[in-house]
Amino acid sequence: MDLTLSPELTDFREEVRTWLAEHLVGEFARHRGVGFSWDAEAWDLRVAWDRELAAGGWLCLGWPEEYGGRAATIDQQLVFQLEYALADPPYRATTQGQDLFGPTLLHFGTPEQKARFLPPIARVEEFWGQGFSEPGAGSDLAGLRTRAWRDGDEWVIDGQKVWTSHGGYADWLYVLCRTDPDAPRHRGISMLVVPTDQPGVDIRWIRNVLGGDDFCEVYFDGARTRADLVVGEVDAGWGVAMGALGTERGTTMLAENLRLQREVELITEAARAGGREPTGALRRDLARAWTDARIAEWNGLRLMTAIKTGRGVDPVVQSSVSKVFASRAHTRLGETAMRARDAASELVGEDYALDRLQQVFLGTRAESVFGGTQQIQLNMLSERTLGLPREPRRA
């Protein structure tokens, strides 16, 4: 990708920088970087920050204006992502709705569904959770067993979902259900939009290793939703889900990958704290962390180029490559952070308060799993891209 900015993009970059400098102040500035994807810290403040962004016209870039978005080219969206990541603001609370469900609905939804659900997302009025993974059907998503069947003008849903990010705050869930139990594994699946405020939906928090409760498990016991709240065609939800996951592993990862560069700076500062000079081994690890952060950025830019131009690497392949690399790199970065902190890495604050680098070390342990496990991603790349033989499956 040619990173030389045209005069128009240079003006746009200055607009972004000026707005962030004027609005990322006060409590927002004091909570820079708070609430990463595996942490629900400072939720109310993050919601307030999202509403500040919405009021300034910086949420839902690229969405049609009729749905509350802001017309923006791919180049403008990229410039915004770069500048936004460098500013290190609080982590947004609306990622599920804005970055995942919203783009999926724009592509697969009906006009009525778009008009109903997209504007409240853009105004930060309704929150969303993703009902994909299940016990026994996480990486093997096609093995899901949550059932849905028609009862007049409604769908009735029974089953269980797990690892539902922000599920406890969600007003709505977009849920994969098996609607034709006799169809092959990747067919007979539909994506339903389900309201959480009803007796048949039981949401329970899951406490993670950081002490936070970002994830949830969700039980459906006779839950209901309207018959017209199917995203895409009935029994064709697998393709819709892959579109959502492609978004998650693709453009929405770019900003998170760019955060690695800020974390490398924090690690370097920690390694030099108190006038210490990093050892040779630690210097080597710091150099690798810096290199990994840049490669993660370049992978993201390569993906954006493929999406923008439709040429070069397959975006689906590149998104998997980016996901595998970034997960491994971030895990290594967390381990390097603890070595840089030395004995101080074992000290926590009052009520188990963790600093940013401790959060990175603990939180990244899950990155090899969420969003698609590394093993599954590597199998997909080897079989579908390199043409290697399929891994033997047990009968």
Same domain, 159 and 70: no
Average pLDDT over residues 204-215: 82
Same domain, 228 and 142: yes
Share of the chain above pLDDT 90, in %: 47
DSSP track, 276-324: ----HHHHHHHHHHHHHHHHHHHHHHHHHHHHHHS-SS-HHHHHHHHHH
Residue with tokens 């080597």: 284
Domain of residue 201: give its range.
Answer: 128-234
376 or 237, greater pLDDT: 237
Helix (H, G, I), strand (E, B) or coil at 121: helix
Split into its structural domains, the chain has a count of 3
Same domain, 173 and 257: no
pTM: 0.85
* Domain CATH code at residue 70: 1.10.540.10
Cβ-based neighbour number of residue 66 at 10 Å: 10
Same domain, 289 and 183: no
| Amino acid present at 259 | R
Position 310 in a domain: yes
C-alpha 216 chain-centroid distance:
16
Average pLDDT over residues 348-361: 86
Helices 315-341 and 237-249 cross at an angle (nearest 10°) of 40
* Domain CATH code at residue 270: 1.20.140.10
Lowest mean pLDDT among 89-103, 115-129, 292-306: 292-306
Same domain, 266 and 379: yes
DSSP letter (8 states) at residue 170: -
Contacts of 8 (CB under 8 A, 6+ apart): none
Position 98 in a domain: no
Average pLDDT over residues 344-365: 86
Same domain, 225 and 333: no
Position 108 in a domain: no
Position 111 in a domain: no
What pLDDT is stored for residue 73 in this prediction? Answer: 87
Judge whether 22 counts as a catalytic residue: no
pLDDT in tens, 311-325: 667 766 777 788 888
What pLDDT is stored for residue 254 in this prediction? Answer: 65
Question: Closest Cα partner for 150 from 201, 187, 203, 190?
Answer: 190
* Domain CATH code at residue 142: 2.40.110.10
Enclosing H/E stretch for 157: strand 154-162
302 or 108, greater pLDDT: 108
DSSP letter (8 states) at residue 187: S
Position 46 in a domain: yes
Average pLDDT over residues 164-193: 92
Q: What is the CA radius of gyration of the chain?
A: 21
Find out whether 70 and 58 touch, Cβ atoms under 8 Å: yes
Average pLDDT over residues 374-388: 81
Position 19 in a domain: yes
**Alpha-carbon distances of 22 from 8, 29, 46, 90, rounded to whole Å:** 21, 11, 17, 15
**Alpha-carbon distances of 217 from 130, 131, 164, 313, 368, rounded to whole Å:** 11, 9, 6, 37, 20
Average pLDDT over residues 366-387: 79
Position 333 in a domain: yes
DSSP track, 26-66: THHHHTTT-S-TT--TTHHHHHHHHHHHHHHT-SSBTS-GG
Same domain, 258 and 322: yes
Separation between Cα atoms, residue 179 and residue 163, nearest integer Å: 22
Choice among 41, 217, 248, 256 that is catalytic: 248
| Amino acid present at 238 | W
371 confidence band (pLDDT: 50, 70, 90): low
pLDDT in tens, 253-288: 666 667 788 889 999 999 888 777 888 899 999 999
pLDDT in tens, 123-146: 999 999 999 999 887 767 788 999
285 or 247, greater pLDDT: 285
Cα-flanking dihedrals φ and ψ of residue 377, to 5°? -60, -40
Last residue of a domain, one of 199, 234, 269: 234
